[in-house]
Each structure stands twice: as structure tokens, then as C-alpha cells.
Amino acid sequence: MEETTKTLKEIQVVVFRLLKEEYGVDVVQVKEIMRMQEITAIPNAPSWVRGVINLRNQIISIIDLKERLNLELSEPDDNSRIMVIEVGDKTIGMIVDGVNEVLRTNTSDIDITPPSTHDVQAEYIIGICKLESRLIVMLDLTKVLSLQEVGLLEGGAEKSENEEISDGATAEESSRELQV
């Protein structure tokens, strides 16, 4: 009985585009969708980090989802959007080529990713959603970045308490100096 309930569970999916392919993500992962805006570049950031924006007095990192997923790159256009998500307690924006729709589907419409497409890098692929003549690659956006990569985005390039700052002091020691 529990198995039947699980397979009939309805979910809402945000369908977005990267190049010509459609991707989907459970709507609960998306905090908001916004138009492209000017992004301030951060020196020495990983290539997939485009920079930061000010979202209602909160500085958030913006990543290029195509580059992060090793897809062909293209410049953002009028259809491009920033999908804002939360990974743990960190808010991150992801650039996509467009957001097509929010649709309702059943979890039974999602096939687990075929074994031939599994690899260590693709743990963020949940499966393939089959809708009539469409196939939508379902992603878990919270797994697109590793915990270590999310840590790199903290405050731009902020060091953890145990890492050394350029003068040899730890971040904790430096913050104590600032408080004096």
C-alpha cells in the first residue's frame, strides 16, 4: 500500500532550458526566479562562478549552470533567468537559458537514470521525466555543487576558521584583531 502511495505522489516541477534541452527541478528547491541583472565579477573565482549580486541586501553567488554541467557555453540573452536556490543555509543563483513552465506530474512519470549515464559527477541527476513527447532531465540542484564548493562560495572566498590567512594568522585570530 505504501509503495502505491509513493508512485502516485504528485510534484510540481520547474522546467527550464539549457541550450536546446529541457531540465526540471522540484519546485520546493527553487526560492525564486528572476530576470538577469548585472553581475559583479569576483577575481580568482572558479570559472563557473560568474560573480555576485545584491538580492534584497543579501550578497549571493551566481554560477553558470551550463558551465558547471560541462555544457556548451553561450552568452545570456533576454530569455535567460537566475534561479535562486538554497543549499543548506547558503543562497545561490544559477543562470539558465530560460524558464519554460511549472507543471504538475507524478513521481511515477520519472524513470531512474539509466546505469550507462551514471558516474560520480552526475549524482545530481535524479532521472528522466516522461511527458507525452517530451523528456525532461530531472536534477537535484542541491547536489550540483559539492559541500566543499559551496564552502568556497561563502562570503566570496572567505577562509574557514582553521585555514590560514595570507599573513599566517587563522580567520578566528584575524576576526579577534578586527574586534579590538
Residues 159 and 155: their CA atoms lie apart, in Å, by 9
Per-residue pLDDT reduced to its tens digit, 126-159 = 889 998 889 999 998 888 887 677 777 765 433 3
Cα 117 to Cα 138: distance, rounded to the nearest angstrom: 13
Residue 27 lies in domain:
2-179
- In this structure, are residues 135 and 129 in contact, taking their beta carbons and an 8 Å threshold? yes
**Total domains present in the chain:** 1
Decide: 12 and 104 in contact? Cβ < 8 Å.
Answer: yes
CA gap 85, 32 in Å, rounded = 7
Q: Domain with 145 in it: what CATH number? A: 2.40.50.180
pLDDT tens-digit profile of 88-127? Answer: 888 999 999 999 999 999 888 888 866 555 554 567 888 8
H-only helix segments in the chain: 2-7, 65-68, 147-153, 171-179
